[in-house]
Amino acid sequence: MKILKSILLVLTIISTLNFNAQTDEDVLKTIYKQSLTNGKSYAWLNHLSNQIGSRLSGSLGAERAVEYTKEELDKLGLDKVWLQPVMVPKWVRGSKEYAYIESEPGKTTNVNICALGGSVATPALGLKAEVVEVKNFEELNALGAENIEGKIVFYNRPMQADLVNTFEAYGGCVNQRYQGAAEAIKYGAIGVIVRSMNLRMDDLPHTGSMTYDNLPVDRRIPSAAISTNDAELLSTMLKLNKNIKFYFKQNCKQLNDVQSYNVIGEITGSEYPNEYMVVGGHLDSWDLGDGSHDDGAGVVQSMDVLRLLKESGITPKRSIRVVLFMNEENGLRGGRKYAEVAKQKGENHVFALESDSGGFTPRGFSFDCNDAAFNQVLSWQPLFKPYLIHYFEKGGSGADVGPLKTETNVLAGLRPDSQRYFDHHHASNDTFDAVNKRELELGAATMTALVYLFDKYGVNPIANAAPIKD
């Protein structure tokens, strides 16, 4: 037995020496090869999307996703896997929404809508009223109560098509979806219809969260998204006849909070176990599709980061955690809970990376960090060039890792090509068939490469970092 242990020890030392002799270029090549020839992310996503489906917080799908991902992390032989309890909101859509435009009594045109997440229902028989179209809150304010009271407000500001960064375009108009009802209520509106956050012209309504700013229930009004094609139709019909009416019926309901979980797995650091690095995505999704891009892709990529580190023979110096956050879509409870517990325990989170921008071809990362840490990242650009990863910019990271921010740590977000993302975002076509296997696996490898480099060199100024080649 002693001889066997000695042989195993010698083999381990030899393996470690051989790995340490590799250049960073060699390690990244191994990581990408493992992901592209032996990846698990696509198979995991297949199960998550096609066997479980949508995963709205508090739903059976969310519960099954927690169980499945924990089981899969257990199989990876990580040092620790556990569930972190978190209370989440439970909103249910109910039966499918129905809507039409009435140009004159008895003459109607059906249109495609969906309730916005968190909205109240219409009256049991639906809601019908004249429509007031606005592009922004300034136009709403200018119209005032005399023109809005008793009517449905139609927000029709498109995403700005000439912005190459489609997330910038999204950010430029999403306030009408989130805050639109609360603003319209001030002027006596009885309902809200919002143009879908989508650059493409199609018939698919896109849901998303909205707020009433804590107004009492009896003052809340139903809010729905309308497809881009039907938004154009409604706008055109209003130009021809301002007296047309809009009818819609939805049956959604807000229930009491329920308990759910963040799913966490850890490889304990070999040298600095009390320095934590996080990689993650959000496990919940909206209920119209199966959440493959938002954010099933980020979930399975993050899981595969830890597996790829192990498969590539990398022994992390720091403790690396995968965190599958619950309730990003309509509450951010999971991200806040994880940060709250980390603070209570005094855990030092030096780095966190989030994937929540879809499973398309990776282009690079955005970083929330100081200049010294960012300069260190820029020194690694040549390592990523062979994989066509070129986008390294300071900016935002991710909603779930955001609460971990300190003055000294680094937060990052994976940035895939975004041109097709909002075709699927929060809509019924966010499904498994829309995700390309190779693009997904490239994203997992790119994330793993960044985690490897930050673990190896730490969050230090470039002057203190080791050169690219050992």
**146/152 Cα distance (integer angstroms):** 13
Closest CA to 375 of 448, 464, 456: 464
**First-to-last CA distance in the chain?**
37
Task: Show the CA angle centred on residue 278, arms to residues 281 and 412, nearest 5°.
Answer: 75
Q: At what angle do helices 24-38 and 297-311 cross, to 10 degrees?
A: 120
Ordered strands of the 223-226 beta sheet: 107-111, 98-104, 245-249, 127-134, 152-155, 191-195, 223-226, 113-115
Q: Which residues pair with 225 in a beta bridge?
A: 114, 194
Peptide bond into 295 cis (omega under 30): yes
Q: Please give the full DSSP string across 113-150, using - where no structure is assigned.
A: EEEPBTPPPPPTT-EEEEEEEESSHHHHHHH-HHHHTT
- DSSP-H helix ranges across 131-219: 137-143, 145-148, 166-171, 175-178, 180-185
Determine whether 328 is an active site residue: yes
Question: What is the amino acid identity at position 217?
Answer: V
Q: Which of 328, 329, 354, 441 is catalytic?
A: 328
Catalytic residues: 328
